[in-house]
Chain A
Amino acid sequence: MDAIILQLLNGLDKGSAYALIALGLTLIFGTLGVVNFAHGALFMIGAFCAVTLSGIFNLSHKSSEPSGTDFLGNPKYEDVLYVKDWFGDAVGAWMLDWSVPLSVLFAIPIMLALGFIMERGLIKHFYRRPHADQILVTFGLAIVLQEVVKYFYGANPIPTAAPAAFRGSFDFGVMLGFDPNVIIYPYWRLVYFAFSAVIIGAVFAFLQFTTFGMVVRAGMADRETVGLLGINIDRRFTFMFGLAAAVAGLAGVMYAPINSPNYHMGMDFLVLSFVVVVVGGMGSLAGAVLAGFLLGILESFASMNEVKMILPGIDQIVIYLVAIIILLTRPRGLMGRRGVMEE
């Protein structure tokens, strides 16, 4: 039982990342009708926002006095951090420690701007082109973004720590009445799950309870009619692209302490996220979230030794197996609209 609960927690956590990326993909597909293969790259850039802010906080100058010798035997000067010079030791240390959560604030304007530039600069020219063209151009864009990041940050993963208060793990099992040391779970993964839930809730609330969201939803249902009412739906859709980019970016920022960011982390998630979107139903926001968590949990259970003993290799194919079964029995996906992905 404890193993099942542990894998359930894991699945929810994996599902959080899948759901956040799939949510952004669905927002873009639902509003603009574009299949955005660069979405994984946006997730990756979010993670590198955390790396960048941490790098900015770590900017330093050399001390005036040598403190020893370097690896070549030359005088070595200590690095003195600017944040500690400017804000004092205590505040400087706090800023360094909390650089990942602070990166959320740093990433929002960057991701929004990147989304706007992508949409206005490139994607809008492909609205009337076939999906195959959109996939090609966005996939190409993903590779360009990936290579740019590799050029500046290198190919090696860059460790990015969570705040000290959320490092390590705690005894989750005791809260559920299990013996101590049976279900131990990392703090930061719970933070990630909670953060995802907040972001997903905020996106739904925004679409559901604001006038802007209502117009966007109306535009998703019938773009031409909304346009005829004198509403500039294109501008709103551009904003939605930026919002989708920001959601992917924030998912990346908070994911940085879980897996050290590297330039190809977006590609690792991209294919899975598309499967999630297709299983959930193209264009269905609720479907994307539901499928994200469902597939995350299934993947976790498939990794259990007991399951792998009966079905070797199932952990590598379970997601695709489920996708095949769902698409064979329900081509529009779990919560997809009739007419999308089926006749």
Chain B
Amino acid sequence: MSKMNLTRRGALKTGAVAGAGLALPTVLRAQDNYLNAPTGDTVTLGFNVPQTGPYADEGADELRAFELAVQHLNGEGDGGMLNTFSSKELQGNGILGKKVAFVTGDTQTKSDAARASAKSMIEKDGALMISGGSSSGVAVAVQGLCQEAGVIFMAGLTHSNDTTGKDKKANGFRHFFNAYMSAAALAPVLKQLYGEERRAYHLTADYTWGWTQQESIAAATEAMGWETVNNVLTPLASTDFSSYIAPVLNSGADVLVLNHYGGNMVNSLTQAVQFGIRDKQVNGKNFEIVVPLYSELMAKGAGANIKGILGSQNWDWKLENEKGEKYAGTNAFVKSFGEKYGFPPSQAAQTCYAQTLLYADAATRAGTFNPCGIVEALEGFEYDGLGNGPTLYRAADHQCFKDVVVVKGAENPSDEFNLVEIVEVTPVEQVTYEPDHPMFAGGDLGTCNPGA
């Protein structure tokens, strides 16, 4: 029988070792203790896009991009932007060695429907990440749901300041630019082309995106000397804007700002042109129309009416060809997408593709699918090679900061893919703002929720 001498130092050592031993499984458990932790050899992502309703075409393009991203992550196809992405963690063998599978939902561009489909994908299909959408109202709603549920939300197309402003959430991330950035990018170009003394009349879609865009554009243009004559809110369900456009003609304004998106924008722009606004002169100046947020599908829908009209985009498929190597990744993505589908990708497609790669890369760098690990990996992450130039995922609000593209409708488009021309690419420094900027004030990022 051995004799045991219990000294103070020995007791402390033993206690520390025993404590560490007991604590270790807890630490390991915490690492795995999150919602929908994958147990098999696949990991499921949820792509929630409008498959019905007025934005169904945009949703279809997002879905094409998601499918392409999944292919590339699984090592199929030419790899697309995996080849140009500055982070070299992704090897085309899925994410953390698990093959990527996906499920899809239909947002119908309705918040309730979008939340229901996201909930179903999380609860029934075990989705670990939700991405997609073509509306800020939907993005805010689904982001809130993902925060409550404990999964990551990689927003698709959402342009309202509120998404990473008063409605920001720790589990939510936005690659797409926002209304403030559009305004900051557009204002210098508007000043250069249309002068400092202008009177602007705003027609604004009556919901979160319209309000924040109007506020942003009005602030940016007023700061350079423009006057805002009027701001008229138009119902989201409007199809005939003629009764809102008619008063513009005699308001004394010489610029009409259409804070409309999708079908609303197509109709309001078409009708504004029909009413002869672009042929009119006020105070010796040509009457101009501005559409702050452009999309390729909107340009297509508006047809010849879009000619010469200024707007902004998050990305354009011609970026690398026209503006050089800084926007590397653009051509790689256009090639993959174009060869698979026969036409160039939209900005909605690019943002969804990039979000999927960014999620996969963050999980790989974190070494876990735990949302808290992914949040940590994405916060403050600087990267390049996904088509937008050097980009920062800011920790304070989970907003991406990168250059903004200013475009105008092509006067003589060479084909249906060249409906807009790049006028300028505004450097990221000019569109960056402080996290506590008044337009983004309020709300609380909170802390990550792993869902368990």
Contact = CB atoms under 8 A, between A and B. Distances in A.
A210 B54 CA distance: 44
A104 B424 CA distance: 44
Given A72-B339, A259-B239, A7 B57 contact: no
Contacts of B304: 159, 161
Contact of B280 (A157, A184, A188): A184
Contact of A265 (B56, B239, B303, B338): B239
Interface string B307-350: 00000000001000000000000000011001100011000000
Interface residues of B, number: 47
Interface in B130-170: none
Interface in B105-125: none
A182 to B, nearest CB: 6
A10 B274 contact: no
Interface stretch (B29-37, B208-216, B230-238, B431-439): B230-238
B422 to A, nearest CB: 14
Given A71-B344, A305-B232, A169 B243 contact: no
A260 B246 CA distance: 19
B274 A169 contact: yes
B98 interface: no
A258 B53 CA distance: 21
Interface in A59-114: 68, 70-72, 76
Contacts of A264: 53-54
A192 to B, nearest CB: 11
A259 B241 CA distance: 10
Contacts of A234: none
Nearest to B295: A156
A64 to B, nearest CB: 18
B93 interface: no
Interface string A141-185: 000000000100011111101000001111000000000011011
Contacts of B230: 305
Nearest to B230: A305
Interface stretch (B3-11, B70-78, B263-271): B263-271
A299 interface: yes
Contacts of B240: 14, 258-259
Contacts, number: 120
B293 interface: no
Given A184-B280, A262-B263, A159 B239 contact: no
B54 A6 contact: no
Contact of A161 (B250, B266, B303, B335): B303
A259 B297 contact: no
Contact of A260 (B249, B303, B335, B343): B303
Contacts of B207: none
A13 B242 CA distance: 10
A157 B94 CA distance: 38
B210 to A, nearest CB: 15
Contacts of B173: none
B66 interface: no
A154 B57 contact: yes
B247 interface: yes
Interface string B256-294: 000000010011001100111001100000000000000
B274 A188 contact: yes
A186 interface: yes
B407 interface: no
Contacts of B417: 71
B249 A184 contact: yes
A186 B275 contact: yes
Nearest to A150: B56
Interface of B: 52-57, 60, 230, 232, 235, 237, 239-240, 242-244, 246-247, 249-250, 263, 266-267, 270-271, 274-276, 279-280, 297, 300-305, 317, 334-335, 338-339, 343-344, 414-415, 417
Given A14-B240, A159-B303, A170-B276, 16 more contacts: A3-B247, A6-B246, A6-B247, A7-B246, A72-B335, A156-B57, A161-B303, A169-B275, A169-B276, A260-B267, A260-B303, A262-B54, A264-B54, A300-B242, A305-B247, A315-B243
